[in-house]
Amino acid sequence: MESTTHQKSASVPSGRKPQIPFNLRFIQWVFPKFESVATQAAHKWFVNLFFSPLRYPIPGNEREILQRAKQFTVNLGEKEVVCYTWGKGPVILLVHGWAGRASQFKSFVEYFTASGYTTLSFDAPAHGLSKGKETTIIDFKDSILEIEKRIGKIDAVIGHSLGGAASLYALSEGLKVKTLITIATPSIGDEIIGEFASRLKASASAQVYLKRAIYQRLNRTFDEFMALHFIKRLPHEINMLILHDEQDKEASLRSAESLAEAYPRATFEKTSGLGHVRILRDKAIMERCKYFVEKGF
């Protein structure tokens, strides 16, 4: 395992924080009040919210990159997954995170296609332009495997946030890829549930109820859907790079450290000042990813 620290790149635009959607602000206001007077009903709502990602508006510059893509779809039963491809050359699959979308990789798409690669991505069910209201990491994993069946060889996967965990899940179930890069990937179940509860100002009992509901719905504990679980079950050795920012407020640095400890042959690198999402717009990060992908050929 290697661990290095990179300072914030000058290429990162300062920008503004994404505006919190009105429906989330309303839920944050009403949920603790509702839980105090109708606990059981509130806990059921809490579970439904956990499986229902928010859809953030797609900015104009991201819509432009989608318009330049060749689109196709894959089906997961009755669920249709919208997929996108750009460029020609070795294939890099980009996997977004929870409440994310393919177009968040706009900078990666432009950088890698200009470097002679095919970039491929998708909107998971209930994300981006794919339909649906509820989803799980299982849908993310199944989408990856179906895309592999459709297009054939994938040379490398870059997964952001939950997309990194979903990629490890797919690898544990037969995805044939030699190189994986995870960026800002959470790996500790209690932290994810705790962060979600904190956003809604939910009680500790709501968290207990959610864990029980996850097991009843999916027949596994929440920890069995964590990146830390899947990384220990990889069927073969892979070239793996773990990137994580020290100031990530959505996935703690401990998540990345746990992954690196569980898979010592991985290269682990820390950044500073890029947070959870801005890291996807940093040119130095893209250059590091490209170098690592090429090292795996």
Residues facing residue 267 across a β-bridge: 2, 241
User: Looking at residue 5, what is its pLDDT?
Assistant: 60
pLDDT at residue 7 is higher than 60: no
Name 37's Cβ contacts closer than 8 Å, sequence gap at least 6.
Answer: none
User: Which is higher by pLDDT, 239 or 15?
Assistant: 239
pLDDT at residue 44 is higher than 60: yes
Q: Is the pTM of this model over 0.85?
A: yes
pLDDT at residue 171 is higher than 50: yes
pLDDT at residue 295 is higher than 90: no
Tens digits of per-residue pLDDT, 223-281?
999 999 999 999 889 999 999 999 999 999 999 999 999 999 999 999 999 999 999 99
Interatomic CA distance for residues 140 and 48, integer angstroms? 18
Local confidence band at 9 (pLDDT 50, 70, 90 cut-offs) = very low
Mean pLDDT of 139-165: 97
Question: Burial, 218: exposed, middle or buried (Cβ in 10 Å; 0-12, 13-18, 19+)?
Answer: middle
Tell the residue number behind the tokens 């994310």, with chain if given. 100
pLDDT at residue 53 is higher than 70: yes
Mean pLDDT of 138-146: 98
User: Looking at residue 19, what is its pLDDT?
Assistant: 63
Tens digits of per-residue pLDDT, 181-233?
999 999 999 999 999 999 999 999 999 999 999 999 999 999 999 999 999 99
User: Looking at residue 17, what is its pLDDT?
Assistant: 53
Local confidence band at 23 (pLDDT 50, 70, 90 cut-offs) = confident
pLDDT at residue 50 is higher than 80: yes
For the chain, the average pLDDT equals 93
Mean pLDDT of 59-63: 93
User: Looking at residue 2, what is its pLDDT?
Assistant: 59
Span of 12-21, 39-48, 130-139, 193-202 with lowest mean pLDDT: 12-21
User: Looking at residue 236, what is its pLDDT?
Assistant: 86
Do 140 and 162 form a contact (C-beta atoms < 8 A)? yes
**Structural domains of the chain ordered from first start:** 2-18+56-188+226-295 (3.40.50.1820)
Do 54 and 21 form a contact (C-beta atoms < 8 A)? yes
- Helix H or strand E encompassing 99: none
Tens digits of per-residue pLDDT, 66-109?
999 999 999 999 999 999 999 999 999 999 999 999 999 999 99
Give the C-alpha distances (Å, rounded to integers) separating 289 from 24, 101, 117. 34, 20, 13
